[in-house]
């Protein structure tokens, strides 16, 4: 029988446990705070080691059970986030491994006229395939950078990624199920589940109008490959423009219902103060006077190639590079400053992969004298929304889109 040391050698340090769960090893040291933003809590920095889980490069560990791992900043230098570096987000720790030939999707509910069950082969064969570039971002991305800090997974800037998603349009599958006129919401459930009795199963709903949007998919490929296990294999929901809470992984059932869905993760979780943010799309059937479900992402950006305290030579040009994104209105411009916001220059935008995708930007500066500089980037979208200078406080730590201020030195 091989020893524990032999097993670690064979698995590259990964420890595989029962029920499709795992565990990782090979910590590489704590990851520093993201540059130009409020610091993470000390505990998040201390525990945020780089660890590799099966099929992934070393990612920044935020929690171990359930697995929550974020993408290191360096991978955002690319327009599309590699599958092996894509962030991992789970609420529940029982995560089965599902064979493609054993998976099926049940479609029904009281507002479906002809319930059906489809296999992965049928999903690929019987429904037109579409591909869409879209950002998948955890609702709580940057929560750890709130000041004062709020409860929840203390994410830095890497609980997000951009990919080309391929699959069937949800509306085509719902058409086969025959939506009744009473249909109000569409409910998703996945194969992952709670470990302890009494823990609410993670289920989500979206309004029928969003389910029928042509950019809402049942995806089975990601960047030209089958979905990785940790990103929802064999199939997941893609709700382009909306935060990742609705992007159900390992989806096993879709139900059309005629009344507002009554579930903890919709009625209590993932909610923001009503009308606090400049959103366009509201989830009307789940709104109250006090709060409403989080929906689309706010306009945002991140500088990817400048580190706090970096030294740049006087008289020599240096480039400020990064990515910008929003909830699907489309990035219209990014302005960059090297003097703390006293003056701004329009950055050059990179390839437009579609309105739901990351949009890269770059702008060159040449310091004329020695001294401190403060680098900033400010993204705007086609709806006229712009990143904020001040944090918009909310209890769950959502929608952090404060402009970075990265202090560097010209030498």
What confidence tens digit (pLDDT) does each residue in 336-349 have? 999 999 999 999 99
pLDDT score for 5: 33
What's residue 13's pLDDT? 31
CATH match for 300-410 among 2.60.40.650, 3.40.50.150, 3.30.300.180, 2.60.34.10: 2.60.40.650
Let me know: does 331 contact 346? Beta carbons within 8 Å: no
* 8 A C-beta contact, residue 88 and residue 230: yes
Q: Considering the chain, tell me which residue range(s) the CATH 2.60.40.650 domain(s) occupy.
A: 300-410
| Structural tokens at position 329 | 């209105």
Output 114-119 pairs: Cβ under 8 A, ≥24 positions apart.
Answer: 114/176, 114/177, 114/178, 115/177, 116/176, 116/177, 118/173
Radius of gyration from C-alpha coordinates of the chain? 22
CA distance 184 to 206: 9
pLDDT at res. 4 = 32
DSSP-derived letter for residue 201 is P
**375: phi then psi, degrees, rounded to nearest 5:** -95, 135
How far apart CA 331 and CA 298 sit, in angstroms, is 11
* Length of the chain in terms of residues written: 411
Which residue carries 């085509």 as its tokens? 172
Condensed to tens digits (0 to 9), the pLDDT of residues 21-79 reads: 444 545 456 688 899 999 998 888 888 899 999 999 999 999 989 999 999 999 999 99
- Bridge partners of 386, per DSSP, are 380
Nearest to 378 by CA among 328, 342, 329: 342
Joined tokens for residue 130? 């579409």
- SS3 (DSSP) at 267: helix
Task: Give me the chain's average pLDDT, please.
Answer: 92
* Domain 100-291 of CATH type 3.90.1150.10: no
CA dist 30 to 46, 57, 140, 226, Å? 6, 16, 21, 32
Residue 29 is predicted with a pLDDT of: 63
User: Looking at 298-365, which runs of residues are DSSP E strands?
Assistant: 300-303, 311-312, 318-325, 331-337, 345-346, 348-349, 359-365
pLDDT at residue 337, rounded to an integer: 98
Q: Can you tell me the distance from the alpha carbon of 295 to that of 186, in angstroms, rounded to the nearest whole number?
A: 15
Where, residue-wise, is CATH 3.90.420.10 in the chain? 100-291
Helix (H) / strand (E) element for 293: namely strand 291-293
Kindly tell me the sign of the dihedral angle through the C-alpha atoms of 137, 323, 61, 14: positive
Which parts of the chain have pLDDT scores under 70? 1-30
**Helices and strands (DSSP H and E) totals, the chain:** 6, 27
Q: What is the pLDDT of residue 71?
A: 98
């Amino acid at each position: 029988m091989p020893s524990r040391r032999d097993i670690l050698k064979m698995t590259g340090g990964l420890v595989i446990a029962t029920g499709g769960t795992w565990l990782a090893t090979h910590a590489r040291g704590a990851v520093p705070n993201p540059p130009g933003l409020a610091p993470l809590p000390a505990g998040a920095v201390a525990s945020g080691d780089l660890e590799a889980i099966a099929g992934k490069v070393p990612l920044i560990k935020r929690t171990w059970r359930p697995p929550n791992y974020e993408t290191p900043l360096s991978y955002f230098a690319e327009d599309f986030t590699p599958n092996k570096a894509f962030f991992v987000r789970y609420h529940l720790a029982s995560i089965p491994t599902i064979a493609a030939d054993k998976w099926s999707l049940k479609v029904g509910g009281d507002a479906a006229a002809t319930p059906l069950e489809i296999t992965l082969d049928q999903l690929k064969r019987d429904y037109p395939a579409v591909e869409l570039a879209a950002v998948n971002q955890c609702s709580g991305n940057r929560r750890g950078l709130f000041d004062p800090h709020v409860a929840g997974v203390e994410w830095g800037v890497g609980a997000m990624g951009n990919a080309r998603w391929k699959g069937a349009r949800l509306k085509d599958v719902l058409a086969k199920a025959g939506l009744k006129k009473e249909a109000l919401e569409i409910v998703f459930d996945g194969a992952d589940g709670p470990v302890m009795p009494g823990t609410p199963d993670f289920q989500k709903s979206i309004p029928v109008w969003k389910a029928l949007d042509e950019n809402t998919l049942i995806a089975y490929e990601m960047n030209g490959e089958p979905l990785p296990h940790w990103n929802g294999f064999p199939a997941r929901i893609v709700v382009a423009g909306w935060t990742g809470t609705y992007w159900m992984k390992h989806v096993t059932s879709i139900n059309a219902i005629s009344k507002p869905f009554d579930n903890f993760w919709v009625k209590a979780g993932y909610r923001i103060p009503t009308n606090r943010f400049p959103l366009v799309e509201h989830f009307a059937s789940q709104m109250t006077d006090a709060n409403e479900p989080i929906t689309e992402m706010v306009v945002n950006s991140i500088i990817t190639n400048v580190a706090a305290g970096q030294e740049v030579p006087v008289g020599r040009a240096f480039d400020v590079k990064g990515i910008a994104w929003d909830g699907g209105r489309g990035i219209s411009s990014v302005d960059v400053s090297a003097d703390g916001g006293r003056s701004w220059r329009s950055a050059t935008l990179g390839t437009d992969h579609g309105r739901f995708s990351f949009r890269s930007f770059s702008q060159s500066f040449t310091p004329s004298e020695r001294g401190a500089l403060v680098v900033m980037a400010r993204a705007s979208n086609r709806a006229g929304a712009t990143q904020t200078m001040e944090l918009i406080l909310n209890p769950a730590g959502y929608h952090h889109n404060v402009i970075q201020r990265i202090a560097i030195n010209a030498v």
